[in-house]
Structure 1
Amino acid sequence: MSYTAIHKGCTLKGVETMRAIGYARVSSREQIDGTSLESQETMIRQYAALKGMELVDVLVDAGVSGGKPLASRPEGARLAEMVGSGEVQAVIICKLDRGFRSASDCLNNVEAWEKDSVSLHILNLGGQSIDTSTPTGKFFITIMAGAAELERNMINERCNEGRKARKAEGKRIGELPYGYDLADDGKLVENETEQRALTIIRDMKNAGSSLRTIANHLNEHGYTPKKSPVWTHGHVQSVLRRAA
């Protein structure tokens, strides 16, 4: 059920209007894939209007990883300041992962904000809108946030098991290393040209050549790195680190 079907708040005469701050975020990958900040902002503004809130602003962190704590993000830090100074009484986000890196991170913020009489409003948490100013909302967010974190941990565990299995089978894990190609069965096989380049890199480095000198030598002799037309000192350094 959408939040528009649940909440039909209005501002009553003589009752002070609640001041709210909205927050939206997308990561770089989501921006490339077309996740819309405009959509988040529209939902936040609609919700504030339906609840009779005075929406002070909608803060936006574009291209910021959800793995960062809210207060360490540029606009997230500004939000924290506004909450701490008493400028707002409510924070509105569209989904849990827009605002917080984990369920525990969410709950820690909710508990801290509660001391300042600031409530969190999540427009879509398991298909429901949540308002932590109510006992039901606080209970529901605790349960749903915990379930979300459990699911993420289980996914991470499955991914780790998958990596271990691929490693045991001699298959590639992560980015394809320089000097190797991927066979049809998923195993790594040596690339003769790249292996020769690796030998040159190691020999020149052991002889005291600089990374830039090695890169220039490889370019002059027709060798190319993966995913780039020419060698740079950064490419050489990356190959050496991985081979170490």
Structure 2
Amino acid sequence: MFDASTNCIVYIRVSTIEQKNSGLGLEVQLQKCTAYAQFAGLEVIEVIKDDGVSAGIPLSKRPGGKRALDLLVTGKSSNIIALKLDRLFRNTTDALTTCETFNKSGIAMHLVDQQGTSINTKSAIGKFLLTMLAATAELERNLITERTQEALQVKKSRGDHIGATPFGYKRKGHKLVPNEQYSILLWILEQYEAGHTLQSIADKLNRQNLKTIRGKKWSAGTVWNVIELHKLKLAV
């Protein structure tokens, strides 16, 4: 008999090749998550992965993340398992907002190894720990960002070029000016503003045989990076 209350989704994600080959690789995440599911008496109905996708992309805009949410929203599963909080979310607000939505729908989020402990958000303790750990993680990120910005301000005051060259631009001295790919960049921004998904934009670019700045095929992650680098360029 169908029982979504014991069904679970395993969600695994890596953002870079380096991470893929490190201790947080997809295989390691899968092993730990499936072992947890067995221990907790949950049945894994699907393993969903996002390979090469940044945490900065909201869960709903990742190819695998959207699939996971669809299974949860449609009631096919009442549980989602991930190794750590940062596999699922980009910041504290994102995590807590989604967790609250999950709770109202009777969906439990399970974090297998969050700073040495497992968390199940169906319990009061689990919710409390999630709130504290998410806030701590964001504080650490903000402190790193603050120190980085201070260092960048020093470089800017010296007139140094800061950061990588965004897609659609080239360097001219200490400045960035549009290059031959600028029209593609504008098209990507228009598509994103019009509500098209990152994956659909990547698919269209690949069908036109257009390459990334490194001459590779497009993915949802590379489209997101292009958009974010452009925003950073405008903010400088």
Partner of 1:138: 127
Residue number in structure 2 paired with 1:51 = 40
Aligned to 1:197: none
- Mean Cα deviation higher: 26-35 or 59-68: 26-35
How much has 1:53 moved relative to structure 2?
0.8
Q: Distance in 2 between matches of 1:33 and 1:39?
A: 10
**SS of residue in 2 equivalent to 1:173:** coil
Task: From 11, 17, 22, give the equivalent of 1:23.
Answer: 11
The secondary structure found in structure 2 opposite 1:22 is strand
Structure 1 unmatched runs, 5+: 1-14, 181-187, 189-201, 203-209, 213-226, 229-241
1:97 pairs with 76, 86, 89, which one?
86
2:113 partner SS:
strand
Alpha carbons 1:110, 1:120 under 8 Å: kept = yes
Q: What does residue range 152-231 of structure 1 map to in structure 2 within 5 Å?
A: 152-175=141-164, 178=171
Specify every segment of 5 or more residues in structure 2 that has no aligned partner in the other structure, as ranges: 182-212, 215-232
- The answer (yes or no) to whether the contact 1:90–1:118 under 8 Å persists in 2 is yes
- Matching of residue 67 in structure 1 with residue 67 in structure 2: no
After TM superposition, the score normalised by the length of structure 1 is: 0.64
Matches within 5 A, 1:102-141: 102-141=91-130
Residues 1:77 and 2:66 aligned together: yes
Report percent identity of matched pairs: 36
Distance across 2 between alignment mates of 1:163 and 1:17: 49
Q: 1:25 to 1:139 in 2, by over 3 A?
A: same
Are residues 95 and 173 of structure 1, via their aligned partners in 2, closer, same or farther at CA, if it must alter by over 3 Å?
Answer: same
* CA deviation vs aligned residue, 1:133-165 (integer Å, no higher than 9, x gap): 110010010011011111111211111111001
Answer 1 or 2: higher relative contact order, Cα 8 Å, separation at least 6: 2
Q: CA deviation at 1:179?
A: 5.8
* Gap change, CA 1:33 and 1:42, over 3 Å in 2: closer
Superposed CA deviations along residues 27-61 of structure 1, whole A, max 9, x for unmatched, are 13445654521111111110001111111111011
- Conservation of the 8 A alpha-carbon contact between 1:22 and 1:92: yes
Change (3 A) 1:164 1:29: farther
TM-score when normalising by structure 2? 0.66
Kept in 2: contact 1:86–1:116 (CA 8 A): no
- Cα distance in 2 between the residues matched to 1:17 and 1:52: 11
Q: Which piece of structure 1 moves more, 28-37 or 123-132?
A: 28-37
The CA distance in 2 between the partners of 1:133 and 1:175, in whole Å, is 43
The 1:16–1:100 alpha-carbon spacing in structure 2 relative to 1, beyond 3 Å, is closer
RMSD after superposition: 2.9
One-letter code of the match for 1:55?
A: V
Are residues 48 and 211 of structure 1, via their aligned partners in 2, closer, same or farther at CA, if it must alter by over 3 Å? closer
Distance 1:161 1:29, change over 3 A: farther
* Corresponding residue of 1:87: 76
How many equivalent residue pairs?
174
CA distance in 2, matches of 1:118, 1:166: 47
Local SS of the residue matching 1:24: strand
